[in-house]
């Protein structure tokens, strides 16, 4: 289980699917990501992985960049190798935020969202951009499991920043269909994010131009462009 903000939906899902909790992975210390951990480990003692630089009292395995998380109970068959996840440091939203990458999937908490990114609370714009750039280097087919379903609102903003992007218009249609059917838009893929997420496209001329309009100044430095569209999004 990644980022259980509450225990009850996790317990319900485990019961409904006949699954057993084997480990908890936390990406950062915000209560809407860790608020359910105490109750879950009281019910069943499982390892709790999370960023070593953040105050999460229930952690049993503090982790950081370069560490590998191995979860034996997740093996698909007794003979299969236990899947492992690489830990990536991605500070910016919080000071020691981490992501987990493995099995072709990325669990990135509140750093990269579908067509958006998290707010910069404890780090700097430069750090956040560096973290996003690190995630963007993963393979195109990587499944992106982010922390919140903000996709439609994010696409609406992205269309203001990158109005000529036809892939963005197509993405909005797909996302709207999914939400109308009561389904999540997640996971997305990194290929899709690189093509449509303005926060991963701070060097694209169209995004630079929009940032300059917002700033009322000429700036091409990606950190300045990123900071401008992040501030614009906060106000929108
Ligand atoms: Zn958060």
Q: pLDDT per residue over 57-90, tens digit each?
A: 999 999 999 999 998 777 655 555 667 899 999 9
Q: How many angstroms does the Cα of residue 30 sit away from the middle of ligand 1?
A: 5
Whether 28 sits among the annotated catalytic residues: the reply is: yes
Over residues 103-113, the pLDDT tens digits come to: 899 999 999 99
How many angstroms separate the alpha carbon of residue 120 from the centre of ligand 1? 10
Q: Does residue 93 have an active-site annotation?
A: yes
Query: What percentage of the chain exceeds 90 in pLDDT?
Result: 92
Catalytic residue among 29, 30, 97, 162: 30
CA of 78 to the centre of ligand 1 (A): 36
Q: Give the CA count within 13 Å in the CB-facing half-sphere of 215.
A: 18
3-state secondary structure the chain: CECCCCCHHHHHHHHHHCCCCCCEECCCCCHHHHCCHHHHHHHCCCCEEEECCCCCCCCCEEECCCCEEECHHHCCCCCCCCCEEEEEECCCCCCCCEEEEECCEEECCCCEECCEECCCCCCCHHHHHHHHHHHHCCCCCCEEECCCCCHHHHHHHHHHHCCCCHHHHHHHHHHHHHHHCCCCCCCEEHHHHHHHCHHHCCCCHHHHHHHHHHHCCCCCCHHHHHHHHHHHHHHC
CA of 171 to the centre of ligand 1 (A): 25
Q: 62 φ, ψ to 5°?
A: -65, 135
Distance CA 149, CA 182 (A): 12
pTM summary value: 0.94
Does residue 128 come out as left (phi exceeding 0), alpha (psi in the -120 to 50 range) or beta? alpha
Residue 148 among the catalytic residues: yes
The mean pLDDT value of the chain amounts to: 95
Asked about 32 being catalytic, the answer comes back as yes
* Other CB atoms within 10 Å distance of the CB of residue 144: 23
């Amino acid at each position: 289980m990644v980022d259980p903000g509450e225990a009850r939906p996790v317990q319900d899902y485990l019961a409904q699917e006949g699954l057993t909790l084997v480990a908890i992975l936390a990406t950062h210390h915000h209560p809407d990501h860790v608020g359910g951990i105490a109750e879950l480990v009281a019910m069943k003692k499982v390892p709790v992985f999370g960023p070593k630089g953040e105050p999460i009292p229930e952690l049993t395995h503090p982790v950081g960049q370069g560490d590998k998380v191995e979860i034996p109970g997740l093996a698909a068959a007794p003979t299969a190798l236990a899947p492992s996840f690489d830990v990536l440091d991605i500070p910016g939203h919080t000071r020691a935020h981490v992501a987990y990458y493995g099995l072709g999937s990325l669990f990135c908490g509140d750093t990269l969202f579908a067509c958006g990114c998290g707010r910069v609370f404890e780090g700097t714009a430069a750090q956040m951009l560096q973290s996003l750039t690190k995630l963007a280097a993963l393979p195109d087919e990587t499944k992106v499991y982010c922390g919140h379903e903000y996709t439609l609102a994010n696409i609406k903003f992205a269309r203001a920043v990158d109005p000529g992007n036809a892939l963005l218009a197509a993405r909005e249609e797909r996302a709207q269909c999914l939400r109308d059917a009561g389904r999540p838009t997640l996971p997305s893929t990194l290929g899709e994010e690189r093509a449509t997420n303005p926060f991963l496209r701070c060097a694209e001329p169209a995004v630079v131009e929009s940032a300059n309009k917002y700033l009322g100044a000429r700036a091409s430095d990606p950190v300045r462009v990123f900071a401008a569209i992040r501030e614009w999004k906060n106000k929108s």
